[in-house]
Structure 1
C-alpha cells in the first residue's frame, strides 16, 4: 500500500458509465439474494436451513459493502479531503441516504499532535464531532482490555518499524454498543524519510463477522448432525443384521426330514431414506413340530425403530416357543408396545403352520393379509379382527384358519413394498403380487419366488423399507 506522497501522478478515476453498470449489477444481485433469504423457511431443528440462511445473510453484507464502495468510487474524492492521505475509494464519504456507515478514515500527525477524523469515523465510534477526534492513547481506552495489546503492537509496527498495519479489534461506543473494527493503515514519511504521521482506514465489520460466525456455527452444527446420522445409521444397520435371520437361501422346516415348508425372505431397503426402519421377518421351528412365520413393521426410523423391532421380535419368538397361539400372542405384543419406554405403533401378522394337518392359524394387527397362491392364481386371505399394535389398550385379536395343499405358496409382506403416493394408473402392491401367480406356480423354490418379487418391485421406487417372506408347502 504505497503512500500518496510518492505517487508519480494522481490516480485516474474510472469512467462513470462503467461504475454505474457495476452499481446496477450489484443492486440487482443484492435484491435477488435478499429475496432468497426472505423466502427461506428456517426451522430451529433444521441445521441445513440455518446454514443456507446464514450464507444468504453473509452474501447480503458483502454486496452492501460492495455497493457502498462502488458508490464512493463513483463520487470520487471530495475537495475537503483531497490533501488527506489514504485510499481514495475508502476515504470518500458514503452515498447520500445510506442507512449504515461502515468505513471512515483518520490521520495522527506525530509532529503537531494533530488528529484528523472523517465524518464517517465519528459515526462509527458514536462520537459527536464537537467532542473532537481521539488520540492514539485515547483510542486504546475504547478497546476491550484483551484487544489493547493488539492495537499497541500495530501502532508500534507502523510508527517505529514503518510497516503497514492490518488488524481487528473491538470497541465499546459511548452508547454502550460493542462494535468490531478492522483497521488498515501505513506510515506517512517526510522528505527525510522519517515517519511524520500515521493514516488509517477503519471499517465496521460487526455485522459481517456476525454473519460469518453464524455461517460457521450452522456449518458445524450441520456437520455434527450428519455425523450423528451416520453413526445412528451404522448402529441401526448393525442391530438389524444382528436380529434378522441371515438367510442366503431357502430353509426347510422341520430340519432333518424331507421337509414340508420351504421358506425364504428378503429385506428391501428404502430408495429415498438413509435410515433403517423397524420392519422385520422371521421363521422359526417350534418345539411341537409346527412352524412360526411372521412379518411386521414399527413406525419410525433409525436406532429407535430397530431397537423397538428387536424387542418385539424377541418377545414374539419367546411367546411362540412357549406355545402361545397367534391371537393371544398379538394381545401380549400390544400390551408390551403400549407399556414400552418409547411408545410407537406397529403392524404385524403372525402365522402358525401345523405340518401334520397342513393347517395355517394366523392373526394380524392392522397388517396386510397373507397372500395364498394355488394352481396359478392368488388371493388375499380374509383377515380376522385386529387393530394396530399400541393403538388401544386391551385390544382383542381374532384368529383364522386355512387349509393348505402341497405346492401352495404363502407371501407375507410389509406395506412399504410400493410407494405411498396416490397413483390411480398403477396397481397397488397386493394386485401386483397377485399378478405374479402364474410365474410363482412355475417356481422350483421359495428363493426363486423371492427373486421374482425383487425383480418386480426393484430397489429404486419405494419411499420406505419393506420385508417379504415366502413359504412354499412341500410334500
Structure 2
C-alpha cells in the first residue's frame, strides 16, 4: 500500500528560505524580549503577581521554542533519508535512527497498516516514548499498554473514530515510559484510504507537550493563587474598614462638648485614607465627654495595616476611653496603656496623644507617646506645644510618661493629628514631618478666619488631603468657644 506521503499529487515544496529565515529571526528576537520581561519580574517568589507573571513568561518561552524549532524544520524541508548507495531507505529502517532534516525530538510520526498489521515509527517517536529503537514498534492493539488506564478510553475513542468513521485525530493522552516517567503527547492524524474508499491505514504525528502543559498548569495555579490573594486582601480590607468604622466616633462634622448648647468646645475630625485605598491602618481620633464636664481629646496610630492592626487599635482606644472615664490623668494613662501592650504579648508599636480639657479654668492637660505635639493657634499665629517625655507605646517596657499643662483662652484652636498627615506627600523633600508642621502653622491666619471647627478641618484637608498619601491619617480640631 502506498504511503499517504506518496499520494498521487505533487509533493509540497517548502517556502522560500529567505521568508522562513526572517520568521526565525523575528521569533528569536521575541524570545529575547520575553526572557528580558521574565528577568525583570524579579522578586523573591512571595508575591503571587510576580509568580503569575514569571509563569506566563515561561509558557510563552515554551511556545516560542516550539515555533523556532518548527520553523527550522520547515526551512530544512521534509525528511528524505538517503541510503548509503543513494537509494531511499525502507521506512521501517529509516525509523531506526535520526537523519538530517528529520522531525525534531519532541515530534514523532507513526503509520499503522491495517491490512498487514505493520507499524512504522520515526526515530523521534521512539525517543518520546523511551523505547529501544531496536524493538518493534507497537501496533494499535498494543499502544494502550503504555497509556495510563484512565486515559485509555480517550485513546480508544480517537482511534475508533478515525478507523471506523474516518474522522481526523486531534487529542492528547499520557504515556508511561519504561523509565517510569509519564509524558503528555498530542496526537494528530487521519485515515489513509484505499482505492475503494475503505480505511487501509492510519498515520499520525505525536508531539511531546509535557513541558508545555506543565507551564500551563503553573500559569493556572499561579492565577488561582493570585485570585485567592486578591479575595483574601478584599476580605481583610472589608474587615478592617468595618472594625475602623465601629471604633471611630459616630459623629461627623461638628460636635459641641460637653454636650449642651452652647458647649465650651467646638470639635471636628476627619480620617484621611491612603491613596491606594487598601491600606487601612491603626489611625484614630476621638472626642469624649468625661464625668464632671471635662473632655477627652485623643489621636493615635498603631503601626501596620489590616484587620489585626485595626482590632488592636480598637482594644487600645477602648482601654484609653475606659481609663479616662475612670478619672485617670493623661500621664499615668499612657503608662498603663504601655503596660497593657506589654501584657498582651502581641508585639506592636503605637504613638498616641491624650488631652483632657477642663472648661472651668480652661486647663488643658496632655501627654504623648512618641507622637507629634498639639498645635495651638491664637490670634492668627500658631505654635507647637512643649512636649513632655514619652516614648512609643510598646517600645520601652516599664517606661513612664510625663504630662504638660496649658491654660487656654476663648477663641484658641487646638489641632491634633497623626504623622501620616504631614509625611504623606511624596513630592516633599527633606524632613517631611518638620516641613509638614511648618505648613500647618502657616495656616494660622486662615484658620483664625474660619467660622467653626468643621471649616478648619476642611481647610486642613484641602491643604493636605490632595497628595498621593502613602499612609492613612487623622486630624482633630477643637476650638474654645466660651
TM-score, length basis structure 1: 0.93
Q: 1:273 Cα shift?
A: 4.7
Alignment-derived partner of residue 439 in structure 1: 446
Mark the CA change 1:429 to 1:193 in structure 2 (over 3 Å): closer, same or farther: same
Render the CA deviation track for 1:147-167: whole Å, top value 9, x for unaligned: 112112211111122111111
The worse-fitting range, judged by mean Cα deviation, of 355-364 and 418-427 is 418-427
Render the CA deviation track for 1:194-236: whole Å, top value 9, x for unaligned: 1111100000000000000000010011011111111111121
Structure 2: gaps spanning 5 or more residues: 83-87, 92-97
Contact 1:182 1:203 in 2 (8 A): yes
Superposition pairs of residues 394-413 of structure 1, within 5 angstroms: 394-413=398-417
SS at match of 2:462: helix
Alignment-derived partner of residue 85 in structure 2: none
Render the CA deviation track for 1:244-292: whole Å, top value 9, x for unaligned: 1132221111222422111100001101351211000000110111100
The separation in 2 between residues aligned to 1:445 and 1:461, in whole angstroms, is 27
Q: 1:337 Cα shift?
A: 1.7
Q: Residue 211 of structure 2 is aligned with which of 207, 212, 215?
A: 207
The worse-fitting range, judged by mean Cα deviation, of 37-46 and 281-290 is 37-46
Mark the CA change 1:322 to 1:151 in structure 2 (over 3 Å): closer, same or farther: same
The separation in 2 between residues aligned to 1:338 and 1:191, in whole angstroms, is 92
Q: 1:444 Cα shift?
A: 1.7
Mark the CA change 1:273 to 1:248 in structure 2 (over 3 Å): closer, same or farther: closer
Contact 2:366 2:403 in 1 (8 A): yes
Aligned length: 465
Alignment-derived partner of residue 41 in structure 1: 42
1:430 and 2:406 correspond: no
Alignment-derived partner of residue 78 in structure 1: 79
Q: Residue 314 of structure 1 is aligned with which of 308, 313, 318?
A: 318
SS at match of 1:293: strand
Contact 1:268 1:459 in 2 (8 A): no
Alignment-derived partner of residue 122 in structure 1: 126
SS at match of 1:281: strand
1:355 and 2:359 correspond: yes
Q: Residue 221 of structure 2 is aligned with which of 199, 217, 222?
A: 217
Contact 1:185 1:199 in 2 (8 A): yes
SS at match of 1:185: strand
Q: Residue 467 of structure 1 is aligned with which of 453, 471, 474?
A: 474
Alignment-derived partner of residue 155 in structure 1: 159
Render the CA deviation track for 1:304-358: whole Å, top value 9, x for unaligned: 1111111111111111100000011111111222222532110000000010011
Alignment-derived partner of residue 452 in structure 1: 459
Mark the CA change 1:188 to 1:83 in structure 2 (over 3 Å): closer, same or farther: farther
Q: 1:424 Cα shift?
A: 3.0
The separation in 2 between residues aligned to 1:33 and 1:83, in whole angstroms, is 42
Contact 2:335 2:400 in 1 (8 A): yes
The worse-fitting range, judged by mean Cα deviation, of 284-293 and 332-341 is 332-341
Contact 2:301 2:351 in 1 (8 A): yes
Contact 1:371 1:378 in 2 (8 A): yes
Contact 2:279 2:472 in 1 (8 A): no
The separation in 2 between residues aligned to 1:59 and 1:471, in whole angstroms, is 61
Alignment-derived partner of residue 94 in structure 2: none
Alignment-derived partner of residue 139 in structure 1: 143
Contact 1:406 1:474 in 2 (8 A): yes
Query: What CA RMSD, in Å, does the superposition of the two structures yield over aligned residues?
Result: 2.2
Mark the CA change 1:401 to 1:351 in structure 2 (over 3 Å): closer, same or farther: same
